[in-house]
Amino acid sequence: MRRLPPLVTLLPPLVLGTAVPALGAQPPTVPRFPIASSPIELAGDVRPHQYVGVQGRRAAWLGVETGAAELWVHPLKLAQDFQLDFRIPDYTDPVRGADVARTVTIRPELTTITYSHATFTVRQHILVPLDVPGVLVLLDIESFRPLEVVVSFRTVFQYAWPGAFGGQYTVWSPDDQAFLLSESLRRRNALIGSPWAAAASTHPAHALPDAPSVFTIPVDSARARREFVPIVIAAGEAPRDTVRAWYRRLLTEARGLYDARRAHADSLVHRVARVDTPDDDFDRAVAWSVVNLDEQMVCNPDLGCGLVAGWGPSGKSTRPGFGWFFGGDAAITSLAMDAAGLWPQVATGLRFLARYQREDGKITHEISQSAGRIPWFTDFPYTYYHLDTTPYWILAVWRYWLASGDDQLVRDLWPALRRAYAWSLTRDTDGDGLIENGPGNLGAIEIGELGADLHEDIYVAAVWLEALRAMEDLAGAQADDSLARDAAARFARGHATLNTRYWRERDGHHAFALLTSGGTNDNLTVWPATALTFGLLEPARARRTLIKLATDSIAADWGARILSTGSPIYDPMGYNGGAVWPFVTGFAILGQYRYQRPWSAFPLLDAVAQMAFDWSRGRHPELLSGTFYRPLDTAVPQQFFATSMLAAGTLSGMLGWEPDAPRNRARLAPQLPPHWPVVRVHGLRVGSATVTALVHRGPGSLAVQLSAERGRPIIALELPLPPGARLERVTVGDSTRPAERLDGPRPRVRLDVPLGTRPTTVAVEWEGGLDIVPPTPRLTPGQTSDGIRVLDFAWRDGGWDLLVEGVRGRGYDLLLVGAAPSRATGGTLVPRADLFTGLRVEFAAGTGRETRTVRLMP
């Protein structure tokens, strides 16, 4: 930048041509108010190109941490390249905002970007109200020299993909002190401006300019100490007077709109299911996953309110990430939302999908934000593209009902459920009890060689079988006995098919798919984890598949690859051929926990938690490379079925929370890492009741204190014992109680605990036994996968067998908790002064990975 003599005054930018008269005697003001901190806020230095999003129900700010953004008011993309620059007397050229953007603070209700220069500090607070179609930017400015804020953007003013209209133009409206974005029919209008604006660029009449639209804000330092400098964006499919009213409301009600967002954020942080563990970062990541799940809700003026799939900048296109309505994604995320207690959002999303159900019963795959303005449902091929969305919607309705006990929703949707069931039955042409893929009926695979010759894939098979369970239960509740019997019979037939035809004894794992040629696709993939999540696979064979899924060929340090690295068609950047998806990582987590294998589940869960801080703060990307810990360039940066798996993996997996409100029951089966001595869980909801659990682990004991508000549910409590432990006693309060013992990789005891008006404490005591602390490597962006894997851990023949996998030539340190082993074969015991025993495992020199069994003796 070129310095000017100090006496030179601030000059107006040469591109500006329209002077803006001041408003009347009482222009709108936004008096300063405090911006509160959030208990889960994330702050740090800005990082170029890293996504930051701020969303409400009707609008979205989709940008990057250095300040550039796209502006959306659904279904319209208003502008791109929105940014702030700054003029000071010292320089002829503006100070670029991107060059001085220093820090970013992400809160559930508001995001702040701080621009720091030697002569000024500007805090840009970005607020998107929940229900107003607009965005409010509040600038908190401190400057000791004259300062102008230069606001620029490039007008797009177009429908979201694939809609379009013509006749757009941009003009400066002096009366509004804002740019007016409109079109020849004046049915769509937007305003972008500020009551502080003093000059604006001119553009050709009735055309979109090639150059950016620019207005300047001269900063009155004295006034800026009392007021925020507001920049207001309002838009919609509405007359100009209506848009002006929204614009004015954003200005005059700024404090109230902020308070409403703050109260909503408070409800998400404090009034839904949440965990308090020894790992504060883990707790914060789980809390952010709940916030993310709420940000799915979008209200479209044509279509209504529903759940979208993800957010991200559209660039030069008009596709904002996956910010349109996806049936399968909504069904998947609803399972985490059920566990977290986000029931109104789930109910709205389920009803939305029923509204657009095809006449024959099929549920939509995707609905564009512009679908109400184009022949989306008749002329475009994407609407009903997938097979899995229909059975997934059925099971999603069931799971919501189990959590909430909302009988009215089931009664309202029962005709739609019957139609969805009837359509699904048309996809079982061979009578094996499983529904089939085919043209226009995609399942696990959309592109790539893995989907060749596909007849039935195991993902769709699992979803369908769980939907059959759902229909049997729902039909029973609706007194539709014949449908209940039909669903039960089909489940028995399909379950047998799944557990026989998909099993590959030679390979020791379940196949990916049955082929139209009659054979099987024997590739090792993560997709059997879907069936494992629902507990559909026979335990002995499930164990062998789970061991394979825990190896590095599937489980990278940062999550599960879709396809094994040993496959000849593996591609670490392949969308369906080897990339790591947090979404399918969640199935691996839930499957490992379902079959009592926390040593393989928790490292993946911890990796998904770490991911919330390494990329877009508080968000989870759609997919990452299978070779390096980094999102793919094509990945959507905020993908909701990715983030849902952190909440689901924690609440439904690690805690084993399964509500059953219609029967006033819930299951709680915690499998906590043994190095966590105390964990508190708040806000577990089942029907009208809210349950709190305090879990405390000590030497040879595990105690759980349970309490409930507004209800008296029965908790089916399952408490784990370390492998090799001898159960001594189970107590409820001061009384010894009998309990059922369940065997498995991690044995456990089970008993029913009716909750009353006072807290109830259940304790399990044992002798002996040994646990392993799941290894959780600290992830570093760009790293390769080199951590140790715990594949299996079991008590056999008077000792413990620990199956591990590591990189040849490397040594690893593990921690054991419980009765200290006396000797080890295949590893070296390292005595410690605390409750742990160290175990050093050294792998011989060489390349690749090695699997080893370590034998531990009492």
The whole-number average pLDDT for the span 35-46 is 97
Instruction: Tell whether 280 and 345 lie within a shared domain.
Output: yes
Average pLDDT, integer, range 824-844: 94
Of the candidates 243, 191, 285, 136, the one whose C-alpha atom is nearest the C-alpha of residue 776 is 285
> 26 falls in which pLDDT band (50, 70, 90)?
low
Look at residues 826, 793, 824, 790 and name the one whose alpha carbon lies nearest to residue 805.
Answer: 790
Q: CB of 726 within 8 A of CB of 767?
A: yes
Closest CA to 836 of 853, 813, 806, 852: 813
The average pLDDT across 142-149 equals 94
pLDDT in tens, 456-493: 999 999 999 999 999 999 999 999 999 999 999 999 99
pTM: 0.95
User: What backbone torsions phi and psi does residue 701 show, to the nearest 5 degrees?
Assistant: -155, 155
Lowest-pLDDT range of 308-312, 451-455, 524-528, 543-547? 451-455
Roughly how many angstroms between the first and final C-alpha of the chain, as a whole number?
Answer: 73
Do 205 and 293 sit in the same domain of this protein?
no
Work out the average pLDDT over 274-296. 97
Boundary (domain end) residue, out of 339, 364, 385: 385
Same domain for 297 and 339, yes or no, is yes
| Residue 447: pLDDT band with limits 50, 70, 90 | confident
Is the pLDDT reported for residue 23 higher than 50? no
Average confidence score pLDDT of the chain: 94
**552 falls within a domain:** no
Query: Is the pLDDT score of 826 beyond 60?
Result: yes
pLDDT at 16: 40
746 and 822 share a domain?
Answer: no
Q: Would you state the pLDDT for residue 567?
A: 96
Q: 3 pLDDT exceeds 50? A: no
pLDDT by residue (tens digit) across 399-439? Answer: 999 999 999 999 999 999 999 999 999 999 999 999 999 88
Q: Is 135 exposed, middle or buried (0-12, 13-18, 19+ CB in 10 A)?
A: buried
- For 515: left if phi > 0, alpha if psi spans -120 to 50, otherwise beta; the answer is beta
Q: Kindly write down the DSSP assignment for every residue of 224-264, as one continuous string.
A: HHHB-EEEEEEEESS-HHHHHHHHHHHHHTHHHHHHHHHHH
The answer as to whether 568 is a domain residue is no
Residue 501 lies inside a defined structural domain of this protein = no
Domain that holds residue 195: 18-22+36-265
Nearest to 139, CA basis, from 214, 45, 32: 32
**Across residues 71-89, what is the average pLDDT?**
97
Point out the domain boundary residue: 265, 288, 309: 265
Please write the tens of the pLDDT for every residue from 164-208. 999 999 999 999 999 999 999 999 999 999 999 999 998 887 788
- Number of domains, the chain: 4
Per-residue pLDDT averaged across 828-853, rounded? 94
Q: Do 123 and 252 sit in the same domain of this protein?
A: yes
69 within 8 A of 61, measured Cβ to Cβ: yes
Interval 730-767: pLDDT, tens: 999 999 999 999 888 889 999 999 999 899 999 999 99
Instruction: Give the end of a domain, one of 711, 735, 768.
Output: 768
128 and 226 share one domain: yes
Phi-psi category of residue 305: left, alpha or beta, with phi > 0 → left and psi -120 to 50 → alpha: beta
Same domain? For 666 and 812 the reply is no
Q: How far apart are CA 530 and CA 585, in angstroms?
A: 10
The reply to whether 261 and 285 lie within a common domain is no
Written as one string, the DSSP assignment of 624-652 is: B-SSSSSB-TTS-SEEHHHHHHHHHIIII
Same-domain status, 109 and 159: yes
Q: Within a domain: residue 120? A: yes
pLDDT score at 48 = 92
Q: How far apart are CA 1 and CA 148, in angstroms?
A: 17
Residues 42 and 185 in one domain: yes
- Residue 743 is predicted with a pLDDT of 85
d(CA 267, CA 374): 37
Same domain (yes/no): 278, 243? no
Q: Are residues 79 and 183 in the same domain?
A: yes
